[in-house]
Structure formats: structure tokens, C-alpha cells
Amino acid sequence: MVIREIQQFSEVRARARAYLCYLFTRNIPNRMPEPNVDVITGSLDKIVHEVEEFEALYLLDHRGEQVINNITDDPHKKGGLGQNRSGKSYYYRAVREKRCVLSDPYPSTLTNDLTVTASYPIYDEQGILKYIACIDVSLEHILKIAHPSSLQSMFGRSSQVIYSIFSLSLLAIAMLLLFNGMRSLFYARFCFLTFWILKRCFNRRF
């Protein structure tokens, strides 16, 4: 099951990253005159209402230290203030690539389930890194977001069935027309041959 989910994630990773990074760019400017925790936290609160299901939203400073407690609806997932996450791939990749990135799946410290993290660097007007906003989403849920819905899948399968039936119907009609055409041809030749034989017999008799 886990191997299959990881394989599915590799197939939809670009879509998942685009979705989560869009949430960040829509609510938080990549550059701010004076980035501060309160303003960014308010923007993170807005993202909460745009995501159906997530584990936590949080904010790191330029050194990778968490500067706010986790933003989450689950009281068991609160906390995190002061933790250093500079060793996490979602931190150093965002710092190195200077853009929003999406991590590989890893076991969550909050749930022990496989999780992915989107991280979004925030700079001041001089281009100096100040903060990195992060969102944790379970691998299971990110696959639901990025994969076609079951309704779409059913529609796709239904379309294939309908297309197959339509193709078979056209083939049956074509075969029927061919059969009727061959029958008409043979009937015409039969009538001509019969007429020719009768004519010869008639000429011989008279």
C-alpha cells in the first residue's frame, strides 16, 4: 500500500506542489517591505479556511527555528514553538532553491503517518531571507487533492465503455451494409445469368 501511494505521489507531485504553492502565493507576498510574524500568521490563518484537510501550518525564521506554534484544528498537534527544523529537507531546499518547494513523503512527528510539506520562502525588499512558511499535509489527502476524483474516473471508464459500444455498433452497421451490398451484387449476377441461360434456350428452340 505504502509503495503504491509513493508511486502515485511521484506521478502527481507537480500538481500537488502547484496547488499548495498557489495557496501561499495567493495569501503571502514573496517579498515584503518589513516581514513580521503577526502579518504572516494572519495570512496563514486565511489559508486554513482554503484547505479541506491538513496537519499543521507553521512559520520558521531564516535559521530554521519555528517562531509560532502550529496552526491546527487538532489540539494534539499544537506546539512546536522553538523547534529547530534546519535539518529538514523542506527548509534547506526552500533556502537553496529560493522558491516554494514540496518535500518527499516522510513520517510525520505529529501523526506518524506519511506526510509531505510545502515550504515557501519570504524575503524583505533587499532580497534577504526572513521567514519560511510551511504546511504539512498527509500523503493520503494530497493524493485525493491531486488525483482525478472517483467521479471523474467513473466518467472516464463510462466514456470508454460508451465509445467501445459505439465503435462496435459502427462496425456492425458496416458489416451489414457490406453483406447487403454483396447480396445485391450476387443477386444481380444471378438474375443476369438466369436471363442469359433462358435467352439461349429460347433461341435454340425457335
pLDDT digits 0-9 by tens, 78-114: 899 999 999 999 999 999 999 999 999 999 887 888 9
Per DSSP, the residues of 94-155 read HHHHTS-EEPPPEE-TTTSSEEEEEEEEEEETT--EEEEEEEEEEHHHHHHHHSPPHHHHHH
pLDDT over 70 (residue 9): yes
Q: pLDDT digit string (tens) for 18-75? A: 999 999 999 999 999 999 999 999 999 999 988 878 999 999 999 999 999 999 988 8
Higher pLDDT, 151 or 84: 84
- pLDDT for 38: 96
For the chain, the average pLDDT equals: 84
Reference 133, options 20, 49, 33; nearest CA is: 20
Helix, strand, coil percentages, rounded to 5, for the chain: 55, 20, 25
> Which pLDDT score is estimated for 74?
87
Which grid coordinates are listed for 205? 428452340
Tell me, what amino acid is at 153? S
- pTM of the entire predicted model: 0.70
